[in-house]
Structure 1
């Protein structure tokens, strides 16, 4: 356990204090859909503005790819499901980021928006779409986007009839055929339509930026590569980007008005350039006095292995100082005078400018980490930015950047290990909760949440979530001792934890200090396991052991005790049969007989615990058994009862007398607990148990009987003792009632337990194996045939007085009786003479017993009528007498009527 806790604490340390990254390479499958002139699919040829740009970047960087043509809706699903790697063209949206990656939306391949087309000129405003059938491509951002058509139609509460299709061609065809009133398409696609009967309305939706989309599994390096290439192409006005743009959208030549604009732009650029030159001249003149000081300072600062930058609030590089130019995005001389966004592209430039602005606004040092492509390759930096006044006209910041690439590499490697360890931690069956020194939960694994029956506990107070109890009293763990002394603390398995749903579970747990990287106590780790099922199982085993102990005692007592009771009963019967018996003697004899019957009852109860007290089973209907038990135990009381049957019959194979006794015991206990005033509810249903179950029963079909009362219930302290033999809370009880119930049901392959969750009284649950197929049971005729036939009977018993009393008893009925003391004598008698009935005692001390004797007799006389008798046996030969070669049985002490019935059976045979 201590080793296990050490491993868990070690795992938690990595989970809490380490971070990670991940890379991967991928060959690209590119989905393309027909959206002229962005993408054109014609005669199996794939081209278009977006397609050509993608091809150029991929081929330039030796990236292998293949185009897959399809419809928009299908390709969109394929990208989300990871069946293709790239989808072009596609519009950027925040919502789609959940399912895919995009190139930088600040450098879109194309700007686009959605338009409504129609054959009617009457659609001029959004309200004109009311009641119209509108063709829409599935998942089209011009429909679903934040500023898409769907948003505005809902905003103006306009009813319409959407018709979902998978491509703009289908939209166009439906509009042409008149099957819809209007259609939503991309504005570039309208330029592709060569049909004057189709009009573009003034309705436009969701301006978007067209980008490349990648599935979530694609390596970020590939996405970043396309980002960088796109930025370079867009920034380079002579690149293939503008050549292709003119080719697809201006038929190879610039319109005149664009040429004029370009000339004007050149003139303005020239003027700006002259202004910059003049301004630099002025600045140079004004700062000439500081050159000497600046040179000395620059020499000192340039010796730093890190970066020192002076940057103006507009992003202009005013000074660059470092001894390692590999850390720069460009060489120092190229950087000076340029702005951050001229050198650094994308979101990193935005972050840098935001940090500069925040430092200037707050006049406080700002610290942040960033990744940048520099001369020496991709590097990680930690930047510290502070406002500084050096006499520039522009507000300025001092940017001090430290190269943390090696540190970041180590952290990412450790993060990989962290995720592995985190997966292990989440998979362990024990609950793990980590708290800080403020007793706030900062980590909880999946098992902890499942045991506590809570969705999330991070951020909550430890004492609010971990509610421990012992003997119904709240227990608080010694957290202060853990924090201050660093001790380990373990609790016993008698503790229970109350879940968020107020269910109680037994737990085994420990509490240990959590140390940080400086070996200081940063908090504590609480490791605990749900051992409720284990506790239930152990209690069942303990309960069974107690019953077995009593059984061994009962077994030692039963045989001799029943034999002696039989002797007394036989002689007493002979006394009662005397004529003209004195009244006083008659009264004494009857009292003796009544006492014997009570003694027999006690012995039978004890024998239910003994190994040999096997039930004599038959098919019985539990419905009838329960009704009989209620009649015996509740008649004449003020107790109300209700029986709920799921089926008409619940047939089990059981000893009816013993099962009736079980329910009588339960009903009497309930009656006493409610003081003859309350209600008993019995619910019966069929259930199935799997191979693994906490009740330790065989798998299969069972009948479940729940006996519930409205009494005061059973206290927690007494719950573990109620099935102990001789434990009672009644003044005149013998403490065997529930113990007998448990023993009887155990011998029937079932069980009984107290439902601890029921709080409105007491509820006992009984399980008995169900009979799958009920065959017609042939019952013996129980009527005793009165006959004058005199039988010749052989009786074997090792107890002399039993042989004597039995012989006198049977002879008084007119039968001839031969007695023997052991099996060897019985076999010799069989060889010499014929007998109508052979009665064999099961257990013979120092001689052949009933089972072996019966086997030998069958060899000599296969058709002999053999009856087994016993005061106690541990072989099951009485309960299953026919399996041992016997024709009938009776138990000692016996009633004369039972004996007459058996003799009657032999005559019928």
Structure 2
């Protein structure tokens, strides 16, 4: 029975996730479970009858050079000690591990001191997860801040771009002022791309997919990521390169992560080569891909490369690479590519560089956006109700609509929009289109406003407008009752096309 009890206790202790030590009254090891043996790199038969401090060498911090005898402190107080701060364990091989230890004295029937039970917890993984959680919280806060800044910046750009596009309508295309305004528009277009990138990184919406021109996505995110670095990039794309269907935020993240990895592998600078071409994957293939058309992306750097050992673990979260250190970025890349039904391959030679090859399913659908139209715009007729909380945007939108031939009415929030729409409808004077800003500070926004308008008039035609380009409403506007969506900032020509599309449909 006693032997059975001993075996039961040993099995129980060996299946506990923490390290367990039993010491006698002199501080020598009687027993340690398998977790403790793995942690210290000491076998039980080698550690038995050794002083605990000779096996479990502790430093109070990484910066300390000397170890301390924790059992002596127990012997003096004979009281349990719960350590709030982790210590540094030096294993038999000299490796340093962050651990938390709790000490419990053991007493006999006559209250004599028999020894000590010590429970030690490997704090390394917990610390990693805590750091990852803190990083996620910081990124979330940064994302919210970036999103707000980008939205406000898009509102400012709407005013500037709207007025410039209006001014150009009244100028000679060959004149110097027209050319200067063209250059100003180009600058605004670059700013528009930057705010889109900020919103994409900040976006929490990772499921919605759209038709994307992969060459433009690569150029935008690579240039954004390399800004301020000493790394250059060369692009080579097939002229007939097909589009891909994917989530802009996720695909932007995977591009960003690979480029960041490349930059880190070239600390003194270097070059990145990026190419993309179409490829047809047959039914039988070595990539476990579905048969069909794909876009194959190649991203090559001339950095320090990765060893075979690193390559075998490159997609493992928290893996500490010998070449580039800890990097979760590539694990995220693998997850994103998998979610898009693609695959990623890596070739690397130490001292020469690394090549990432990515396969993404391709489609033929056109993703081209409406381009600016030069010259006079035919005048239209009709009434348009505009809701926006920015006075300066209401003014420029009113001017743009008037220029296009519409009768503009403006309000600053949802309650006023509903009231105005009701009043006109009561007089059999219907608005042809309503333009609703989705985000109204201190008032009813576009989402709630359209819900009310549809109850009043199920045939109402509403255009969603927002500087939050990643908002789910902007990509799935029909699901919310909108007839179209217009991303801020926009030119008068782009507003014109959006209105025509709604009125024609």
When normalised by structure 2's length, the TM-score is: 0.63
| Equivalent position SS for 2:251 | helix
Question: What is the rounded CA distance, in whole Å, between the counterparts of 2:469 and 2:42 in structure 1?
Answer: 55
| Distance of aligned partners of 1:533 and 1:797 in 2 relative to their CA distance in 1, 3 Å threshold | same
Cα deviation for residue 667 of structure 1 reads: 1.4
| Distance of aligned partners of 1:536 and 1:486 in 2 relative to their CA distance in 1, 3 Å threshold | same
Q: Are 2:494 and 1:893 equivalent residues in the alignment?
A: no
Q: Are 2:363 and 1:800 equivalent residues in the alignment?
A: no
Cα deviation for residue 807 of structure 1 reads: 2.6
Pick aligned residue for 2:339 from 770, 776, 782: 770
| Equivalent position SS for 1:818 | strand
| Equivalent position SS for 1:839 | strand
Give 1:547's aligned residue. 139
Give 1:572's aligned residue. 164
Pick aligned residue for 2:421 from 826, 830, 852: 826
Give 2:352's aligned residue. none
Q: After TM superposition, list the pairs within 5 Å mapping 1:578-657 onto structure 2.
A: 578-579=170-171, 589=181, 593=185, 596-597=188-189, 600=192, 603-604=195-196, 607-608=199-200, 617-618=209-210, 653-655=246-248
| Equivalent position SS for 2:435 | strand
Question: What is the rounded CA distance, in whole Å, between the counterparts of 1:569 and 1:523 in structure 2?
Answer: 79
Give 2:268's aligned residue. 675
| Equivalent position SS for 1:433 | strand
Give 1:444's aligned residue. 32
Question: What is the rounded CA distance, in whole Å, between the counterparts of 1:652 and 1:500 in structure 2?
Answer: 53
Give 2:502's aligned residue. 906
Question: What is the rounded CA distance, in whole Å, between the counterparts of 1:587 and 1:444 in structure 2?
Answer: 81
Are 2:155 and 2:488, in contact at CA under 8 Å, matched by a contact in 1?
A: yes
Provide, for residues 499-546 of structure 1, a one-character-per-residue CA deviation record: whole Å limited to 9, x for no partner: 678887643223455668887767654311234443333233322322
Give 1:57's aligned residue. none
Give 2:462's aligned residue. 866
Give 1:405's aligned residue. none
| Equivalent position SS for 1:796 | strand
Are 1:486 and 1:513, in contact at CA under 8 Å, matched by a contact in 2?
A: no
Cα deviation for residue 855 of structure 1 reads: 3.3
Question: What is the rounded CA distance, in whole Å, between the counterparts of 2:85 and 2:103 in structure 1?
Answer: 14
Q: After TM superposition, list the pairs within 5 Å mapping 1:846-861 onto structure 2.
A: 848-859=444-455
Pick aligned residue for 1:760 from 320, 323, 326: 323
Q: Are 2:435 and 1:839 equivalent residues in the alignment?
A: yes
Cα deviation for residue 579 of structure 1 reads: 1.9
Question: What is the rounded CA distance, in whole Å, between the counterparts of 1:639 and 1:775 in structure 2?
Answer: 24
Task: Report which structure shows greater RCO (CA 8 Å, sep ≥6).
Answer: 2
Pick aligned residue for 2:19 from 413, 431, 449: 431
| Equivalent position SS for 2:321 | coil
| Equivalent position SS for 1:509 | strand
| Distance of aligned partners of 1:753 and 1:602 in 2 relative to their CA distance in 1, 3 Å threshold | farther
- Unmatched runs of 5 consecutive residues or more in structure 2: 236-241, 275-286, 289-298, 307-314, 343-360
Are 2:402 and 2:408, in contact at CA under 8 Å, matched by a contact in 1?
A: no
Cα deviation for residue 597 of structure 1 reads: 4.9
Cα deviation for residue 778 of structure 1 reads: 5.5
Cα deviation for residue 804 of structure 1 reads: 2.3
Question: What is the rounded CA distance, in whole Å, between the counterparts of 1:431 and 1:451 in structure 2?
Answer: 7
Are 2:24 and 2:116, in contact at CA under 8 Å, matched by a contact in 1?
A: yes
Question: What is the rounded CA distance, in whole Å, between the counterparts of 1:623 and 1:805 in structure 2?
Answer: 34
Aligned length, in residue pairs = 431
| Equivalent position SS for 1:893 | coil
| Distance of aligned partners of 1:445 and 1:867 in 2 relative to their CA distance in 1, 3 Å threshold | same
Give 1:535's aligned residue. 127
| Distance of aligned partners of 1:480 and 1:631 in 2 relative to their CA distance in 1, 3 Å threshold | closer
| Distance of aligned partners of 1:574 and 1:560 in 2 relative to their CA distance in 1, 3 Å threshold | same
Question: What is the rounded CA distance, in whole Å, between the counterparts of 2:157 and 2:117 in structure 1?
Answer: 67
| Equivalent position SS for 1:572 | helix
Provide, for residues 60-109 of structure 1, a one-character-per-residue CA deviation record: whole Å limited to 9, x for no partner: xxxxxxxxxxxxxxxxxxxxxxxxxxxxxxxxxxxxxxxxxxxxxxxxxx
| Equivalent position SS for 2:320 | coil
Q: After TM superposition, list the pairs within 5 Å mapping 1:215-364 onto structure 2.
A: none
Cα deviation for residue 437 of structure 1 reads: 7.8
Cα deviation for residue 622 of structure 1 reads: 8.9
- Unmatched runs of 5 consecutive residues or more in structure 1: 1-21, 23-411, 642-648, 687-705, 714-751
When normalised by structure 1's length, the TM-score is: 0.38
Question: What is the rounded CA distance, in whole Å, between the counterparts of 1:753 and 1:512 in structure 2?
Answer: 37
| Distance of aligned partners of 1:605 and 1:778 in 2 relative to their CA distance in 1, 3 Å threshold | closer
Are 1:453 and 1:500, in contact at CA under 8 Å, matched by a contact in 2?
A: yes
Provide, for residues 280-322 of structure 1, a one-character-per-residue CA deviation record: whole Å limited to 9, x for no partner: xxxxxxxxxxxxxxxxxxxxxxxxxxxxxxxxxxxxxxxxxxx
RMSD: 5.5
Question: What is the rounded CA distance, in whole Å, between the counterparts of 1:450 and 1:459 in structure 2?
Answer: 12
Are 2:211 and 2:367, in contact at CA under 8 Å, matched by a contact in 1?
A: no
